[in-house]
């Protein structure tokens, strides 16, 4: 699907605030409500709009301690990778898990209440997963930029 300028602006508006009504969007895009609705449905059907979510203020729910954990597996066999990935997705503290190149195999973004909670998570959950060779934790000091808006 080829996106035109209106689709791109619509996607920007929805990424900025998905609770805007089709009426509000139609005024910003200078289109009818029906035309906006049809464009949104087309973007959903094509899988360009994947889902709608609510972003939670982590510090308000005692999950303001952010850790980036670099992780190495003991071997890089398909079996070890598959097993690790199937287990790590079950950990609710892990917001993101990326298989990466370089010195480490995975980078995890983990949110917990504080350092004590991270230690508990590390000892009782993460390091109990099979095939982990080593971990290296980096703690967030401050968040300079965090956006979910993809520039199209």
Range of the domain at 73: 58-139
Q: Quote the pLDDT of residue 1.
A: 86
Q: For residue range 48-63, list pLDDT tens digits in order.
A: 999 999 999 999 999 9
Question: In terms of domains, do 77 and 123 share one?
Answer: yes
125 secondary structure, DSSP code: T
Question: In terms of domains, do 20 and 69 share one?
Answer: no
CATH number, domain containing residue 105: 3.30.70.920
Q: For residue range 18-56, list pLDDT tens digits in order.
A: 999 999 999 999 999 999 999 999 999 999 999 999 999
Q: Comparing C-alpha atoms, which of 39, 114, 113, 126 is closest to residue 87?
A: 126
Question: In terms of domains, do 41 and 77 share one?
Answer: no
Is the pLDDT reported for residue 142 higher than 90? yes
Q: For residue range 87-138, list pLDDT tens digits in order.
A: 999 999 999 999 999 999 999 999 999 999 999 999 999 999 989 999 999 9
Question: In terms of domains, do 26 and 68 share one?
Answer: no
Cα–Cα dist 62/57, whole Å: 9
Percent of the chain with pLDDT over 90: 97
Asked if residue 95 belongs to a domain, the reply is yes
Asked if residue 147 belongs to a domain, the reply is no
Question: In terms of domains, do 71 and 130 share one?
Answer: yes
Contact yes or no for 98/84 (Cβ under 8 A): no
Q: Quote the pLDDT of residue 107.
A: 98
Question: In terms of domains, do 73 and 10 share one?
Answer: no
Domain count of the fold of the chain: 2
């Amino acid at each position: 699907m080829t996106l035109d300028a209106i689709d791109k602006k619509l996607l920007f508006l929805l990424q900025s605030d998905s609770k805007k009504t089709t009426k509000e969007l139609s005024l910003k895009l200078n289109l009818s409500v029906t035309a906006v609705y049809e464009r949104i449905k087309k973007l959903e059907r094509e899988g360009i709009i994947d889902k709608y979510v609510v972003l939670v203020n982590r510090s308000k729910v005692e999950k303001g301690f952010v850790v980036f954990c670099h992780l190495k597996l003991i071997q890089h066999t398909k079996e070890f990778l598959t097993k690790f990935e199937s287990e790590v997705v079950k950990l609710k503290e892990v917001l993101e898990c990326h298989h990466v190149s370089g010195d480490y195999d995975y980078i995890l973004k983990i949110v917990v209440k504080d350092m004590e909670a991270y230690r508990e998570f590390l000892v009782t959950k993460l390091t109990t997963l099979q095939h982990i060779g080593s971990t290296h934790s980096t703690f967030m000091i401050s968040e300079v930029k965090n956006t979910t808006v993809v520039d199209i």
